[in-house]
Structure formats: C-alpha cells, structure tokens
Amino acid sequence: MQIIPAIDIIDGKCVRLTQGDYAQKTVYNENPLEVAKEFEGAGLSRLHLVDLDGAKAGAVKNWKVLEAIAGNTNLVIDFGGGIKKEEDVNIVFNSGAALATIGSLAVKNEPLFVEWLKKFGAHKFLLGADVKEEKIAVGGWLETTDIWIYDFIAKYAAHGVKQLFCTDVSKDGKLEGPSVELYKNIITKFPQLFFIASGGVSSLQDLEELKAIGCSGAIVGKAIYEGRITLGQLGPKSTL
C-alpha cells in the first residue's frame, strides 16, 4: 500500500484544517518545500498537494508551491483545489503535477470533466469523492447531494478513471480512525481501481487495517504533523 502524505496550502504555508473549516486552521510550516523534502528523505514517493486558497477562490492560486516542490524533488504529485477551467488544468500540469485532482467539478460539471478526460487522458486525473453517509458532498462539505457514491464511481470508471480517493467528511482531520466499512464496500464493487483512503487516519494500526482490506494507497496528513505517526514508520523499511 502506497502512503501518500498530504500538504494543504494557505498563503503559501503548510496548514491543516479540521473538517474543512478555514476557521479551524493550524499552520505547521511556513515552507512546504521543506516538508516535501522531509517526506522524500523518508523514502516516500508520492504527495497529495491541496491548494486551499484555490479551492476557496475557484481558481488555482498556489501553483508556485507546486512548481517549487516538483522542481526540487522527485515526488509524484497530485494537485487539487480550484481547478475549474482548462486553463487551470494546464497550469497544474505545466507546474509539474503528475495528476490533477478533481472533486466538486466532477459532480457539478460532468460534461466538462469528461471532455478533460478525453483530451488529457483519464490516467492524468485523480478523482476525489467527499462522502457523507454514502452520499457525495460538495462545496467545502456544506452541501450533501443525493448522488450515491457507488453510482458516482461507476460513471467515471466507465470513462476510464483509474485512481480515486474517498474522504468521509465526518472523519476528516479528527484523528478518529478511517471509514473502513465504506472503503471495503467500494473496493469490493470496484476491484480494478487504484483506491486511496483519505481522512481519519490516526495511527499505524489504522494504516495496517486499510492495507488489510485492500486499499492501494492511503493519504495521511494530520497524524504525521501531530506526531502520531512518524516518517520513520512510513519509509521503505515499513511493513505497509
């Protein structure tokens, strides 16, 4: 199972939010490149980079941070937050991201996302699904739709999407453990996907449980920054 550390960016700094709330913000490091280099130094090969300013503004803002990390590390970076227009997609790829992360746009503007999948290739996108009680949530999680998570995944898997991460919004940033049952159901229904667990990981035990149910990857954020999981436990020598 691939461990994918997360860096969330506000004002060019590495932060974490609790349950997506900008008022519940902790700044962990003024220099995200420093953090990314630590991850790479520990033997991790991927990075989940989120532009929270971009997500709020509806346009990519922190592409300079992406450019700096992509230019100074060999990490495989997926970048999301504010990708609403083709211009944003181009900025993200030109700045060095391997994958563009698409979440609410896939819910709100299916024709546009499908167009991008055809134009750039489905392998260039990481689909993000925020979920509340098996229904898709959008708009900073304030709005729950009536779209069933399994229908959502099936639709985009049919368009060639290979990688998906799913966040249970009731768990994110709370270090209460991941939504194992939900993930187990998704993996059973879509065994062909590279499925990435996201949200709630608080310990090595959580990661071992996610590996046991067949997750291809797990995004880890707050647990690393709060010292509950050390980078030494996640590197190449780890059993995960």
- Determine which one of 8, 88, 168, 172 is catalytic: 8
HSE-up of 217 (CA within 13 Å, CB side)? 25
- Quote the CATH superfamily of domain 2-233: Aldolase class I (3.20.20.70)
Asked whether 83 and 62 are in contact (CB, 8 A), the reply is: no
- Determine which one of 51, 78, 130, 168 is catalytic: 130
Using CA atoms, how far residue 165 sits from 21, 34, 61, 71, 197, in Å, is 20, 25, 22, 25, 6
Name the residue among 164, 144, 140 with its Cα closest to residue 154.
164
Asked whether 187 and 215 are in contact (CB, 8 A), the reply is: yes
pTM: 0.94
Here the tokens at position 21 are: 């709330």
Q: List the domain boundaries for the chain.
A: 2-233
In the residue annotation, 8 being an active-site residue is answered as yes
> What does the pLDDT look like over 171-208, one tens digit per residue?
766 778 899 999 999 999 999 999 999 988 999 999 99
Q: What is the pLDDT along the chain (240 residues), one digit of tens a residue?
A: 999 999 999 999 999 887 778 888 899 999 999 999 999 999 999 999 999 999 999 999 999 999 999 999 999 999 999 999 999 999 999 999 999 999 999 999 999 999 999 999 999 999 999 998 899 998 655 678 999 999 999 999 999 999 999 998 877 667 788 999 999 999 999 999 999 999 889 999 999 999 999 999 999 998 999 999 999 999 776 777
In the residue annotation, 151 being an active-site residue is answered as no
Angle at 100 between CA 97 and CA 105, to 5 degrees: 155
